[in-house]
Homo-oligomer: A and B are copies of this chain.
Amino acid sequence: MNLAGPLQAVVEEFSKFPGVGAKSARRLALFLLRQPHEQIDSLVESLIGLKTKIKFCKICFNIGESDICDICSSDRRDKSIICVVEDINDVIGIERSHEYNGTYHVLGGVLSPLNGVGPESLKVKELLQRLNGEVKEVILALNPDTEGEATSLYLNRLIKPLDVSVSRIARGLPIGGNIEFADDATIGRAVTGRGLF
């Protein structure tokens, strides 16, 4: 049986989401169908808001509701430190830790030659333009996987000559983790990267 056209249209839209297959998309669409019309209205309204109200910060490419994001425009953030992240999700994660008081720079991805992502697809040029003397340290907070490491190496090579200190977030055993079950690479990093007690 073909689904009724309008339902099928919603299923197809939901199927475009990452991690949502045809079956989940149908489940979501049928769920919506059973909800009162007001719920569909508020979903639609929020989506229109997403499109019209969200802006990308002209400095760090984080999101916000104006041209300069809340973090870049705050007096209480330390403008001499920039934490470079892959994605907006990472900004959210680091902010949640409440351990960082500097600014961010959202690269918009990591280098991935196989997928055709070179430096020109990322906000690398914009990062270098921010290193104008005021910035003392750049923290590279990219994922500790192959592409993240390669991107970190690349950025380090570009930034070091500009007389800016470059650091990167610690790799080691996660809090609550277990040496017995940790993989070799993580244990290796934890040992070589040990700090004084």
Q: Which residues of B contact A128 (CB under 8 A)?
A: none
- Closest chain-B Cβ to A45's Cβ sits at a distance in Å of 8
- Among B27, B45, B88, point to the contact of A89 (Cβ < 8 A): B27
Residues of B within 8 A of A29 (CB): 50
Whole-angstrom CA separation of A15 from B187 in the bound complex: 37
Known: A46-B9, A54-B6. A89 touches B40 (CB 8 A): no
Is A31 an interface position by the 8 A CB rule?
yes
Chain B nearest CB from A46 CB (Å) reads 4
Q: How far is the CB of A48 from chain B (nearest CB, A)?
A: 6
Interface presence of A67 (CB below 8 A): no
With contact pairs A17-B28, A31-B17 given, residues A7 and B47 touching in the complex (Cβ less than 8 Å): no
| Residue A163, interface by CB 8 Å | no
Whether a CB of chain B sits under 8 angstroms from the CB of A153 is no
Tell me, yes or no, whether A169 is within 8 Å of chain B by CB. Answer: no
Closest chain B CB from A175 CB (angstroms):
19
Identify which of A18-26, A112-120, A137-145 touches chain B: A18-26
A17: chain B residues at CB < 8 Å are: 28, 31-32
Chain B residue nearest in CB terms to A38 = B51
Cβ contacts under 8 Å, A71 to chain B: 1
Mark out the residues of chain A between 43 and 63 whose CB falls within 8 Å of any chain B CB in the assembled complex. 43-54, 63
Note all chain B residues with C-beta closer than 8 A to A20. Answer: 28
Q: Shortest Cβ distance from A49 into chain B, in angstroms?
A: 4
14 A-B pairs besides A1-B92, A17-B28 with CB distance below 8 A are A1-B96, A4-B65, A5-B65, A6-B65, A9-B46, A9-B49, A10-B50, A18-B31, A32-B47, A33-B50, A33-B54, A33-B88, A37-B51, A47-B47
Which A residues have a C-beta under 8 Å from some C-beta of B?
A: 1, 3-7, 9-10, 12-13, 16-20, 24, 26-33, 37, 39-54, 63-65, 70-71, 87-89, 91-92, 95-96
